[in-house]
Amino acid sequence: MPGAYSAKLFRVACAALLALATALPVRPAAATSRIKDLANIEGVRQNQLVGYGLVVGLNATGDTLNNIPFTKQSLQAMLERMGVNIRGATIRTGNVAAVMVTGNLPPFGTQGTRMDVTVSSLGDAKSLQGGTLLVTPLLGADGNVYAVAQGSVAINGFQAEGEAAKIVRGVPTVGRIANGAIIEREIEFALNRLPNVRLALRNADFTTAKRIAAAVNDYLGAKSAEPIDPSTVQLSIPAEFKGNVVAFLTEIEQLQVEPDQAAKIVIDERSGIIVMGRDVRVATVAVAQGNLTVTISESPQVSQPNPLARGRTVVTPNTRVGVTEDGKKLALVKDGVSLQQLVDGLNGLGIGPRDLIGILQAIKAAGAIEADIEVM
């Protein structure tokens, strides 16, 4: 009997647990991301470089030297460095264009490695197709030369024209040189000797910063990470990783964290783009939308005299004006609806993105939407 009683009690307990599990709402699994995808390592960054140079070898599509004085001066200075003196001479070439060369110096870029550069025309050149960039020093914000660029320019656009017509596709005055610059100067950054490292969140958020610190501390088994502000988490290097920060960061950046997002609606009125976050909620509100259409039609009538009659032709105006209002009924948006329900309810009104922007702004003005609206 005691065994039968225990078995019966076990079955009752299992049934109760099953009923409780059925009654509890099932929450979908939240999406997680690696720390590597949520934050940057402070100090590990690119540096912007810029330079001024000349592109030669163009097929009469370069700058007009009489209209662009800096191209002419640069050409004269370059030829003088080559031992050619053309001061006072008339130059009528259209195969040269003055350009700005830009690029990003990668983090930990070493001498002799290459980087991509972008070449953009400064003057009235029509196209950089087929041109070659001459040696161009690339300077950083401190005025030092960090790389030197040279090579053939590749463009995506093109231009073709005749006597009475012209066609342009893309932007033929901007090109790119893959691996077109050689790094000449390195930026010193002793990562392995740092006593602590700071992570810079790409999207500042208190909750996400705290979750990142908690994930690191749980992995290490010690309080090594501390959120300083919504966009920064400071990591103290453990004793076993002293002098080997790279190995420490390799372990940390693979940890999975669930990022938190603020309820926000982003609106681009110029293109009519609307992006809404998953946590956007609205209170109970009724929405109606209608369009007023005014139609004006002109059908003038011509009155002519009979043959051989003394008279003149008269035009009598005939204008018709009509006003129609295409309005939808009030649509009820219930309290605390999800993003999907909100989208379905607004789509049920049969409106376009332009009108939807106005409706969202009106709901926000009424205080019935729990989200920030950012207009780009």
306-350 confidence digits (pLDDT tens): 776 677 777 777 766 665 556 555 555 566 566 666 666 666 666
164-179 confidence digits (pLDDT tens): 677 777 789 999 999 9
Among candidate residues 161, 220, 158, 182, the one with its CA nearest the CA of residue 105: 182
Could you tell me if 371 and 264 are in contact, meaning their C-beta atoms sit under 8 angstroms apart?
yes
Residue 298 is predicted with a pLDDT of 60
Tell me what the pLDDT averaged over the chain comes to: 81
Could you tell me if 152 and 177 are in contact, meaning their C-beta atoms sit under 8 angstroms apart?
yes
Between the alpha carbon of residue 296 and those of residues 12, 320, 322, 323, 331, the distances in Å are 79, 6, 7, 9, 32
Between the alpha carbon of residue 335 and those of residues 172, 200, 281, 351, the distances in Å are 54, 37, 8, 22
Residue 364 is predicted with a pLDDT of 80
26-39 confidence digits (pLDDT tens): 444 457 889 999 99
Amino acid (one-letter) located at 291:
N
Which position has the token pair 């990783």? 241
Residue 185 is predicted with a pLDDT of 93
Element (H, E) at 230: none
Largest CA distance in the chain: 129
Residue 258: CB atoms within 10 Å? 13
Residue 264 is predicted with a pLDDT of 83
Band the pLDDT of 302: cuts 50, 70, 90: confident
Q: What is the pTM of this model?
A: 0.67
Band the pLDDT of 24: cuts 50, 70, 90: very low
Residue 9 is predicted with a pLDDT of 43
Amino acid (one-letter) located at 112:
G
Mean pLDDT of 139-160: 90
